[in-house]
Amino acid sequence: MIQISVDEQACNGCGLCVKDCPMNVFEMGSGVSIPRRPENCMGCLSCHEICPAQALEHQGVVPSRRMYISSRVCSMLNRVI
């Protein structure tokens, strides 16, 4: 099962993850997002992508292939970093 954790220090309570998730995994509580139903998470990671505070972490998600990543660009970035 997928486990989701929210960094309460980082979460700014914008509620984008609550609105975006079609499975209603998240709910707002005391100004931060709370993953109430992680058992319904299908691992699409759209909440992960839209979170402006990058406060979400998912464990147990099957990573899909990333064929769109260009190794030339990444190797250049690695040199810079």
Partner 1 sequence: MTKSFIEESQQNFQHDLMFRVEDVPLKCNPPAAELEQTLHGLMQMNGYIIRSLEEIAGRGANAVTFRAGKKFGHEVAKYFQKKDNVEEALRELSYILYGQYSFEPWKPADKDHYIVEENGSTFIYLVFHDCIVRQTLRRIGQEQSGPLCQTLCGYVVGAIEEITGRRAKLEIVHTGPNACLKKVILK
Residues that bind partner 1 (CB under 8 A): 22-23, 37, 39-40, 42-46, 48-49, 61-68, 70-71
What minimum distance in Å lies between the beta carbon of 19 and partner 1? Answer: 12
d(CA 17, CA 52): 10
Q: Which is nearer to partner 1, 30 or 63 (CB)?
A: 63
Please name the helix (run of DSSP H) or strand (run of DSSP E) that holds residue 3, with its range, or none: strand 3-6
Q: Which is nearer to partner 1, 3 or 37 (CB)?
A: 37
Q: Which is nearer to partner 1, 30 or 68 (CB)?
A: 68
The angle formed by the CA atoms of residues 32, 19 and 25, to the nearest 5 degrees, is: 70
What minimum distance in Å lies between the beta carbon of 37 and partner 1? Answer: 7
β-bridge pairing 32-35 and 56-59: unpaired
